[in-house]
Structure 1
């Protein structure tokens, strides 16, 4: 009897794969990139943003619509999504889901998409500014 065992890939392996060859940003690099015009995109939930604060100058885009809002070919894109050469830095709470989101953006041709190491928790530890809002929320 020849039984094949199906191999499942865990999230840790997937995360390592999508980060391979990607230059992720530190909080300080992310802040500087935002000042020079990069799109800093916060995908945290409203509750997380209320709890931790808002990142000045960031755009808030729900993870469920991220690709549609940033794809320059999408009818649902935001005005800033002008071409595939955009520098985009995705931020989440701890820097895990943002890696997966940035990989998804690269898969649709946004080749400069990356994420911030450590998420907003690292931003806080670096002593970078947070505000109580209002946030620039894009639906």
Structure 2
């Protein structure tokens, strides 16, 4: 097993990952979906309505409720957060990073945006 595969396995051991319908329920109940995909993927495939778009390199700064650069949606450490990447790999590592910041309800979407779309959940496309 490669070092990154081991890192990913350890990260996933810390999470209770959610499927697309569970992620939609988190959003419906006031939690935050955070899309960390880069712009080219969002342009190609669309976005999840209501999801906060934060590219991976800004994630910790934008989601830290105590930080000066936080997004308005990053209101408190108890906020349920579901991180979404394209296929559900980078999001696992990102969710663990958010947990290390004190966002103890952070997790990620199994299968990422592609699983969301395959489940027939809403997707917005730019005109």
TM-score w.r.t. length of structure 2: 0.94
The alignment of Structure 1 onto Structure 2 pairs a total of residues equal to: 127
> 2:42 aligned with 1:59, yes or no?
no
- How many Å apart are 1:76 and its aligned residue? 0.6
Q: Does 1:37 align with 2:30?
A: yes
Show structure 1 runs of 5+ residues with no match: 1-8, 135-139
> Which has more radius of gyration?
1
Higher helix proportion:
2
Distance 2:37 2:14 in 1: 25
Could you say what secondary structure the match of 1:90 adopts?
strand
Runs of 4+ in 1 over 2 A off after TM superposition: none
Q: Which residue of 1 aligns with 2:94?
A: 101
CA RMSD in angstroms, aligned pairs only? 1.5
- The corresponding residue for 2:113 is 120
> Equivalent residue of 2:37, what SS?
coil
TM, length-normalised to structure 1: 0.87
In structure 2, list runs of 5 or more residues that go unmatched: none
Other structure's SS at 1:114 match: strand
Q: Counterparts in 2 of 1:5-44, with a 5 A limit?
A: 10-44=3-37
Report how far residue 133 of structure 1 moved: 4.0
